[in-house]
Structure 1
Amino acid sequence: MQKHSSSINYYSVNCNGKLVDLSIPKIMGILNLTPDSFSDGGKFNNERSALEHTEKLLKEGAEIIDIGPQSTRPNAEFLSAEEEIKRIGNIISLIKKELPEALISLDTFYAETVKFGFNEGIDIINDISGGHFDDKMFDTVAETKLPYILMHVNPSYETMHNKIKFADITLSLNQYFSEKTTELLKKGVNDIILDPGFGFGKTVEDQMKMIDEVEYLGFEKFPLLIGISRKSFIYKPLGKSALDINKETQKLHFKVLQQGAKILRVHDVAEAKKIVDEFLNQKFLLEIQV
């Protein structure tokens, strides 16, 4: 990973030999291959619909496509690595062939699925478990030399959604990130992206505090990915549904961009793209006034 400036958090990550500059925030569009995801289950779990949705996400402004073969919502069906691989099928290689401009992130907590995805041509590994659910994950990531998204989560699949009230959520996140990044760096994983883990085992109050304190996460050493799209900590206090909080979500997206977030993981790419453009325009106007 290269940090281009000591005063401004500009980063790049090496995706299969392609240097991806994160000085301009990127949008990661979500492609769920699952029949049981909370808001879009069953919509894109065949080759044709997956390819069409990927094309739509790219046209709307996504540069990264996050492919998820397994839902991690509460009470979701638990799949083995073999079942994940079967569900993915030829979709990765098909997207790579038909839409080669897409950077593909694979959302899995299995080393075996990572190996399969690597052979199919993925560019980024997105592990919601922080290596907790498969003790071979970190070594496998090191072998691929791909960027790794490290998410904060409770230490087991069974407890990942158990709500914990942290004494200081920001301090706890940074302690976790410090330990995990040290382990990853020792294994030779240099391109690390941090995900605070919104929606996983945290109270509404702590998650709102996380939004307010994004700038303090990660010690300014690693780029931050923020995944708040359709999360219950936004819609439940408002008495709304996951599909009815776009306005509120985009306000929070703008807030985290102002604090240095580099990747937004979203379902609604077109709306997020408007917010990224608005943020960049405001930043440009502030810079020319200085």
Structure 2
Amino acid sequence: MGILNLTPDSFSDGGWFNEEKLALEHAEKLLKEGAGLIDIGPQSTRPHAQFLSAEEEIKRLGNIISQIKRFFPETLISLDTFYSQTVKFGFNEGIDMINDISGGQFDQKMFDVAAETKLPYVLMHVNPSYETMHDTIKFKDIVVEVNRYFSERTHELLQKGVKDIILDPGFGFGKAVADQMKMLDEIEYLGFEKFPLLIGISRKSFIYKPLGKSPLDINEETQKLHLKVLKQGAKILRVHDVAEAKKTLEVFLQGNY
């Protein structure tokens, strides 16, 4: 899953692709490098980012979804939003997946819209409100707590008729470095093997800060972690550097590790 941020304030590529021409060029680059899915984000969810309404997200998206579909019709598009209204707009433009970092907690209509559209839905673990999503929580056992959350939220989704669910443990959102490392060690125990796992650790601070590096300078460390989660059953990698992740995936598929 290649990341396409249409934002001026994302932590590592803010302002790089927030014009339609630049976004289209980057989408083409991601596809050429081997992305099977493009995740479009109209709003940054890094700490202290500018908060946008659904209307502002839709304005920022403009025609980019339909334009990508026009020029690259085989492309699968995931929309990174926590607003049901933005999902409805994206659905009419041709999106193929909902990537909701809030797990339906920031917009009570999200699960209903996921059911209405019948789109695959990415359920991420996160604190229960926008204001607290980056507050570091002290977990007794991070894997147990994340699984409890997944159990409750997937039950609700299934009750509403959402069948195609992908789980995201929520790296970079309200978790101590030690807890995130524990999750990486125990990926195979997350989600009860009922649903595919999406892992998004690309350029995350829990990797680069302890190393004293920048988000753009941890590719080697990130690929080692990507290989680690693939070996434990992860099915989707959400990444900025598609070409490097593709190499890691090839190494995994060939068993050369």
Correspondence for 1:35: 8
Question: Following TM superposition, where does structure 1 have runs of at least 4 consecutive aligned residues deviating by more than 6 angstroms?
Answer: none
How far the C-alpha of 1:203 sits from its partner, in A, is: 0.2
- How many angstroms apart in 2 are the aligned matches of 1:236 and 1:101? 38
Letter of the structure 1 residue corresponding to residue 178 of structure 2: E
Deviations 1:179-220 (A, max 9, x none): 000000000000000000000000000000000000000001
Q: Which structure 2 residues correspond to residues 43-192 of structure 1 after superposition, within 5 A?
A: 43-192=16-165
How far the C-alpha of 1:231 sits from its partner, in A, is: 0.2
How far the C-alpha of 1:82 sits from its partner, in A, is: 0.1
Report percent identity of matched pairs: 80
Correspondence for 2:182: 209
How far the C-alpha of 1:101 sits from its partner, in A, is: 1.6
How far the C-alpha of 1:46 sits from its partner, in A, is: 1.1
Q: Secondary structure at the match of 1:96?
A: helix
Specify which of 260, 266, 283 is matched with residue 233 of structure 2: 260
Letter of the structure 1 residue corresponding to residue 194 of structure 2: K
RMSD: 0.8
Equivalent pairs, count? 257
Task: State the TM-score, normalized to the length of structure 1.
Answer: 0.88
Correspondence for 1:197: 170
- How many angstroms apart in 1 are the aligned matches of 2:76 and 2:218? 27
What are the ranges of 5 or more consecutive residues in structure 2 without an aligned counterpart?
none
Correspondence for 2:192: 219
Task: State the TM-score, normalized to the length of structure 2.
Answer: 0.99
How far the C-alpha of 1:102 sits from its partner, in A, is: 1.0
- How many angstroms apart in 2 are the aligned matches of 1:261 and 1:147? 17
Correspondence for 1:276: 249
What are the ranges of 5 or more consecutive residues in structure 1 without an aligned counterpart?
1-27, 286-290
Deviations 1:151-196 (A, max 9, x none): 0000000000000110000000100000000000000000000000
How far the C-alpha of 1:265 sits from its partner, in A, is: 0.1
- Structure 1, 104-113 or 39-48: larger mean CA deviation: 39-48
User: Comparing both structures, which one devotes a greater share of its residues to strand?
Assistant: 1
Correspondence for 2:205: 232
